[in-house]
Amino acid sequence: MTPKVAQPYWAKHAYEVLVETAGRYNAVITYSELAEEVQRRSKLYTRSAMRNWIGGLLADIVKVNHVRSEPPLTSLVVHKDDGQVGAGYDEVLRVSGQPPIHDQLERETHAAASRLECYRHWGADVPGDARPTLTPRMRESRERSPRAATPEVRRGSICPTCFMEMPLSGVCINCE
């Protein structure tokens, strides 16, 4: 089956899967899990690579959420390797009239706030003091990657004659 033909059917099932996911506090689903589940539920399978059609499917869900004034369910869909929303999350921002977020952490923070809205909207057991949180995989990824060390800046000494900074060679180019 071609994704173009199957997409309207998949959208119905994707919406259901995402609402079920939103009903569990702090739950997320990977792109591949969602793709497998919508095909299984609809019994409409494709040999086309998921990356070729999942974005269009999620864009449809974004529009449905927007029309219904619902939080964006697509914030629950993350990459399995790093727990981050994909570039398609920009569709959530575009539909709501916001500019794209290019900073990775800022985008993930926005998605975390959207996920919390989803959990509350679809009846998850959310603690009263709950705050938006990054996915566990995203937190692990951030903890594993070493922070970029601030490079040590080597400075030349100050020339005693003209009081300008000298090159590291120690010879003042102004006074030589």
Q: What is the pLDDT of residue 62?
A: 97
Q: Which two tokens stand for residue 77?
A: 């869909």
Residue 149 in this model has a pLDDT that exceeds 60: no
Q: What is the pLDDT of residues 13-35, one digit of tens each?
A: 999 999 999 999 999 999 999 99
The pLDDT mean for the chain works out to 89
Q: Using CA atoms, how far apart are residues 75 and 131, in angstroms rounded to an integer?
A: 15
Q: What pTM value is reported for the model?
A: 0.79
Residue 54 in this model has a pLDDT that exceeds 90: yes
